[in-house]
């Protein structure tokens, strides 16, 4: 079994403008709609929903009682456009499924589908699928699955989270190579989708600050988020009153090993996180200033240029719609 440091050295990332695009995608978790030769967003969303609903990754209990709690964002669909220096390069669909029961407890599935479009697609084709299965009470993930295809180079990650023991079990596949490894994680670790629902669930006020740990099979990110303003924001989906946030993403690494529980019942030890890269990325993003806290826009500036993801369309099948 490989260690986390060995795994980090072996995984490569694209550079330049491509990196900027994928950074924005990561921060909002959504970049892609469709170009002329792409399936319409409704078909992408339908295929995504079928993929999530068909997954039996947590041991669905067909005879189990339905969960009694409610999940306010079940069935949501978001459509985003991702742009670099004002030019659209990708589009995406983000949606949540219905509340379900499993052997591990109640869960909600959420998925993101990302596709490159136009000139960028011919230059560097991208097609990403990411699904997460998280607890609607804690909003922490049970499992995350990602399939990333960039320029016909495909890799996939599956991560199972054990927050009580501060461990993540990972399976990585690339071409004909398969590897299993473990990673020590903080007890509040999210994946690249579930953290957003955690933030949306919180009461927000000027000056609030939040810290999220995020791990999805590669590196652990520590994201610092500050509420810095109130703004009226226009998107192709309409005008919204918003909260404006500033974020800084750091890369951290576990330094203190988590010991497994021994025969005397000693609990595992949460790892101490060491900062490896102090300011990996920074930028701003906006949530609607209402109970829905809709993710509307994210921006980032770097040496590669200016990146932006913006909401194009939002659908909520429930009785309540977002106020603007």
pLDDT tens for each residue of 232-285: 999 999 999 999 999 999 999 998 654 544 445 556 889 999 998 887 678 999
Q: What is the DSSP letter of 117?
A: -
Residues 308-318: what's their mean pLDDT?
Answer: 87
Residue located via tokens 């030019």: 87
Digit-coded pLDDT (tens) for 206-221: 999 999 999 999 899 9
Asked if residue 158 lies in contact with residue 167, where contact means CB atoms within 8 angstroms, the answer is no
The per-residue pLDDT for range 60-89, each reduced to its tens digit, is 554 344 555 678 999 999 999 988 888 898
Give the residue with greater pLDDT, 263 vs 173.
173
Residue scoring higher pLDDT (202 or 305): 202
d(CA 133, CA 259): 26
Give the pLDDT confidence of 8-34 residue by residue, as tens digits.
333 344 444 455 555 555 444 333 333
Against a cut of 0.75, is the pTM above it? Answer: yes
Count of residues in the chain: 324
Distances from the Cα of 180 to the Cαs of 102, 128, 217, 265, in angstroms? Answer: 24, 21, 10, 27
Q: Is the pLDDT of residue 48 over 60?
A: no
Per-position b or e across 128-148, b if 16+ CB within 10 A of its CB: bbbbbbbbbeebbbbbbbbeb
Asked if 79 and 127 count as a contact pair (C-beta separation under 8 A), the reply is no
Which of 65-79, 100-114, 162-176, 301-315 is the least confident region?
Answer: 65-79
């Amino acid at each position: 079994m490989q260690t986390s440091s060995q795994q980090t050295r072996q995984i490569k990332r694209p550079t330049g403008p491509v990196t900027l695009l994928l950074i924005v995608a990561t921060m909002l978790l959504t970049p892609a709609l469709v170009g002329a030769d792409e399936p319409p967003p409704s078909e992408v969303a339908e295929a995504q929903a079928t993929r999530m609903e068909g997954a039996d990754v947590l041991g669905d209990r067909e005879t189990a009682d339905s969960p009694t709690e409610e999940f306010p964002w079940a069935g949501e669909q978001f459509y985003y456009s991702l742009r670099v220096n004002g030019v659209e390069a990708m589009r995406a669909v983000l949606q949540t499924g219905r509340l379900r029961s499993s052997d591990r407890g109640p869960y909600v599935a959420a998925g993101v589908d990302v596709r490159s479009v136009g000139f960028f697609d011919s230059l560097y084709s991208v097609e990403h699928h990411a699904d997460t299965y998280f607890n609607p009470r804690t909003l922490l993930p049970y499992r995350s699955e990602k399939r990333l295809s960039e320029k016909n180079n495909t890799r996939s990650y599956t991560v199972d989270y054990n927050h009580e023991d501060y461990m993540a079990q990972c399976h990585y596949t690339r071409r004909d190579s398969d590897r299993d490894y473990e990673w020590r994680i903080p007890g509040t670790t999210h994946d690249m989708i579930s953290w957003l629902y955690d933030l949306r669930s919180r009461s927000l006020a000027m000056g609030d600050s939040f810290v999220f740990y995020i791990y999805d099979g590669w590196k652990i990110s520590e994201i610092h988020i500050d509420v810095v303003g109130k703004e009226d924001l226009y998107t192709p989906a309409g005008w919204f009153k918003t909260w404006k946030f500033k974020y800084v993403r750091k890369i951290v690494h576990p330094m203190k090993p988590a010991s497994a529980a021994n025969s005397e019942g000693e609990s595992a030890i949460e790892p101490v996180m060491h900062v490896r890269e102090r300011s990996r990325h920074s930028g701003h993003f906006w949530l609607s200033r209402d109970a829905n806290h809709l993710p509307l826009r994210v921006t980032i500036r770097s040496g590669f240029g200016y990146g932006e993801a913006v909401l194009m369309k939002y659908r909520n099948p429930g009785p309540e719609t977002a106020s603007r």
